[in-house]
Amino acid sequence: MKTRRKSPVNLTTTDQHYCSIDLRLKILGRLPFFEGLPQNAVNSINQRFNSIGYKSGEYVYYAGDIAERLYVVAEGKIKLFQHGTNGRNVLLDILSEGDFFGNLTVLGTFSYPDTTQALTPACVLTIQSEGFGKILDEYPSLAIKTIQVMEKRLIAANNQVFKISSFTVEKRIAYTLLELGKKLGVQNENSLLIDAPISREDLAEMTAATPETVSRVMKQFQNNGLIDTGRLWVSIKNLEELSKLTEFE
Amino acid sequence: MKTRRKSPVNLTTTDQHYCSIDLRLKILGRLPFFEGLPQNAVNSINQRFNSIGYKSGEYVYYAGDIAERLYVVAEGKIKLFQHGTNGRNVLLDILSEGDFFGNLTVLGTFSYPDTTQALTPACVLTIQSEGFGKILDEYPSLAIKTIQVMEKRLIAANNQVFKISSFTVEKRIAYTLLELGKKLGVQNENSLLIDAPISREDLAEMTAATPETVSRVMKQFQNNGLIDTGRLWVSIKNLEELSKLTEFE
DNA sequence: CGGTTTATTGATTCCCGTCAAGCAAGGTGG
DNA sequence: CCACCTTGCTTGACGGGAATCAATAAACCG
């Protein structure tokens, strides 16, 4: 069963990876977050955002920095995590196009509770929290949209707590792979490729496990034909069977 | 070291525990959630809420019920949890006066992801999600307040993930007791009483542990003079030392 | 004062983390 | 294109922290 091969994950986006001005205007308008707004509103909002490009591995901000900006992912993937005690971190989320992070509103000075890092080359739009507050005042429908997105994220975070609290490692890993498939999956021939360079360590940090254990469990999944995997990539071959693993006791 | 005695937690609120109409009007206006709104707005909003009283142990809604209402705690404590596989649940939060739960906005029909149950006799105000949507339209400042509250909750949920993922049981329990102290604490003579009937099982469900382990760890805390505890109550005697336990590796 | 719920305590088991060594993949420079 | 190096993955042996199972004791309630 030789399945190891070159990573099928697309890593080579255009090298010029600070987002060009005209590109970002188009992107902003298409973001699900701003959909439904009239075009002139989008233009107006767009003018108040700046864009920044990040190379893979670069940090957007660190936990503890003063939280005064809101960010929106325009392109690429951003890791959101908290630093663990010894050097083992906890990976809370992987954000992609249209997701926001950072500090939404002005509620006194406080610090970011987490660190954000580009997992792939990425383009990020950003605005001062204060400025975003003004936008919310101007476009109340955006505030409601924001609430809806946060509602979903809170539910997801609670599910995460649930998962880690009551699943075995095997179930946690299966569940996490399925989540990643839903969020970052790209359908290839006969398998669902997770379109981001996810390492064993990343998975360990998402599942409250160790890289070694993740490796062992994934090997087993691979032997059972549930997934296909290699260095920095995973692909789900049998989604149904993998789902079954997360179901019953 | 005989510390076992009658529970100091106040359980006997007025027995008539469906909230009276005039009481709830006063309560609504004082809720931190609605503060800052002009009085006539509060009156108008108040008219659109109903109030329901719950006896200790009663359920407000179950996970899977169709999510069409928003709730606000007016009095008492509400447990928010998810059902585990075998009968061991995961306790996500304990809500008290001013906290909201349920479904905020209308985003298609979907089900509550969690179950809510009165931990003490409680009075809860409720409104259809649709009606709350209208209120948000009318009072945009409320939408921003809502965003801020959700932002805090999301951060708390992420911290919860972090805690469970990277702390030992001892640290998790210490951390959870401190959280409860902050949220539900009442300063008594020389200790901070957690003002809710919290069982070993509740704590286990909050810390991804078993009641037996919680019992053992708390016994140790008690022997070290950090806490004082009995059946369905806990009091923090030495906050500083307890905090130290959660700090470094 | 019995009956019920909650908490304690002990003995045993096992999942998974830790430590350590070796291997495969990819990138780089000559 | 190959030697080399870095980074990520695999695999095994071992130990420990906490779950499980089980029985007793305390607290509370009618």
CB contact under 8 A, A105 and B144: yes
CB contact under 8 A, B85 and A164: no
- The per-residue pLDDT for range A210-238, each reduced to its tens digit, is 999 999 999 999 999 999 999 999 999 99
pLDDT value of residue B114: 97
pLDDT band at B39 (very low <50, low <70, confident <90, very high): confident
d(CA B68, CA A24): 38
- The per-residue pLDDT for range B230-246, each reduced to its tens digit, is 999 999 999 999 999 99
For A6 and D3, how far is CA from C1' in angstroms?
21
Q: What 8-state DSSP symbol labels residue A181?
A: H
pLDDT value of residue B30: 79
**Most confidently modeled of A17-26, A102-111, B237-246?**
B237-246
pLDDT value of residue B158: 98
Would you call A161 helix, strand, or coil by DSSP?
A: helix
Dihedral sign, CA of A30, A236, B163, B206?
positive
pLDDT value of residue A11: 56
Is pLDDT larger for residue A60 or for residue A26? A60
Is pLDDT larger for residue B46 or for residue A193? A193
Considering all CA atoms of chain A, what is the largest pairwise distance in Å, rounded to the nearest integer?
Answer: 59
CB contact under 8 A, A136 and B133: no
* Residue of A136, A165, A201 to mutate when probing chain B, most B C-beta within 10 A: A165
Q: Which nucleotides of D are covered by protein (CB under 7 A)?
A: 8-13, 17-22, 26-29
Give mean pLDDT, residues A30-39.
Answer: 83
The residue of chain A nearest to residue B154, with distances taken between CA atoms, is A154
- By C-alpha to C1' distance, C16 is nearest to A213
Overall pTM surpassing 0.85 (yes/no)? yes
Q: CA of A115, closest CA in chain B: separation in Å? A: 12
pLDDT value of residue A32: 77
CB contact under 8 A, A164 and B159: no
Q: Is the CB of A166 under 7 A from strand C?
A: no
pLDDT value of residue A107: 72
pLDDT value of residue A26: 72
Q: Is the pLDDT of residue B4 over 80?
A: no
pLDDT value of residue B23: 67
Residue with tokens 């009483």: B193
Q: Is the CB of B231 under 7 A from strand C?
A: yes
**For nucleic chain D, which protein residues have CB less than 7 Å from any of its atoms?**
A 199-201, 211-212, 215-216, 218-219, 229, 231-232; B 4-7, 11, 88, 168-170, 208-210, 212-213, 230-232
Q: CA of B16, closest CA in chain A: separation in Å? A: 34
Closest CA to A150 of B150, B230, B33, B213: B150
The contacts of residue B172 (CB under 8 Å, 6+ apart) are B163, B164, B207, B208, B209
Q: Is the pLDDT of residue B205 over 70?
A: yes
Q: Is the CB of A168 under 7 A from strand C?
A: yes
Q: Is the pLDDT of residue B60 over 50?
A: yes
Give mean pLDDT, residues B189-210.
Answer: 97
Distance linking the first and last C-alpha atoms of chain A: 30
Nucleotide nearest to B202 (CA to C1'): C6
Closest CA to B176 of B149, B200, B153, B146: B200
pLDDT band at A39 (very low <50, low <70, confident <90, very high): confident
Whether the CB-CB separation of A234 and A194 falls below 8 Å is answered with yes
pLDDT band at A9 (very low <50, low <70, confident <90, very high): confident
Lowest-confidence pick of A14-18, A104-108, B197-201 = A14-18
Give mean pLDDT, residues A167-185.
Answer: 97
For A11 and D1, how far is CA from C1' in angstroms?
24
Q: Is the pLDDT of residue B1 over 50?
A: no
Q: Is the CB of A231 under 7 A from strand C?
A: yes
pLDDT value of residue B9: 81
Q: Is the pLDDT of residue A142 over 60?
A: yes
Q: Is the CB of B199 under 7 A from strand C?
A: yes
Lowest-confidence pick of A25-29, A52-56, B51-55, B159-163 = A25-29
Q: CA of B112, closest CA in chain A: separation in Å? A: 10
Q: Is A202 exposed, middle or buried (0-12, 13-18, 19+ CB in 10 A)?
A: buried
pLDDT band at A15 (very low <50, low <70, confident <90, very high): very low
- The per-residue pLDDT for range B136-151, each reduced to its tens digit, is 999 988 998 999 999 9
Lowest-confidence pick of A28-32, A164-168, B223-227 = A28-32
d(CA A24, CA A28): 6
Share of chain A above pLDDT 70, in %: 90
Would you call B181 helix, strand, or coil by DSSP?
A: helix
* Residue of A137, A138, A158 to mutate when probing chain B, most B C-beta within 10 A: A158
For B105 and D12, how far is CA from C1' in angstroms?
53
In chain B, residues with a C-beta closer than 8 Å to the C-beta of A133 are 144
Dihedral sign, CA of B157, A77, A60, A209?
positive
Question: For residue B193, what is the enclosing H or E element?
Answer: strand B191-194
